Amino acid sequence: MALAHEFMPNWALEDHLHRGVTFLSWLQRLKICVGAARGSNYLHTGSSTQHRVIHRDVKMSNILLDSEFAAKISDFGLANGHLDMAFGYTDPCYFYTGKLTRKSDVYAFGVVLFEVLSRRQAVDQTLYEDQWSLAVWAQDHFKEGRLNEIIDHGLI
């Protein structure tokens, strides 16, 4: 089996935010996130109840960018049932229940949104241990009312 899709000249979102290929403005980041959200919504709702798809591997490297920086969700390898999800993006409820739902994809996309906002990786072991997980770090900042510290300083 093979999966073919159109050529994506602007690579993946991860390449721009974590590998410094180009700087993305706030407007570009927002457009990419809205496009990825629409794609995810289409997967989850489809054209009928029989065609719903849980992606199971939503992450920065699976959001590809075309020549206009429009987002395309890619890599449906895990949608076939293999459950080796990327660490840092995994829905905590999955660990408790062992069941993946559309909410699992939404959780992973939330981590992507925090990556876009902060330009931090989902997991970064170069930081202090209590800061390794972007999701936990962002939740702590939210609870402490320090959301302004989450924003990528390059955007300010």
Which sequence positions are flagged as catalytic?
A: 57
Are 86 and 122 contacting, i.e. CB atoms less than 8 angstroms apart? yes
Task: Round to whole Å and give the CA distance between 114 and 8.
Answer: 23
SS3 state of residue 53: coil
Beta strands, E only, 5-133: 63-65, 71-73
Rg (CA), the chain: 16
CA-closest candidate to residue 110, choices 25, 36, 18, 51: 36
Phi and psi torsions of 61, nearest 5°: -70, -10
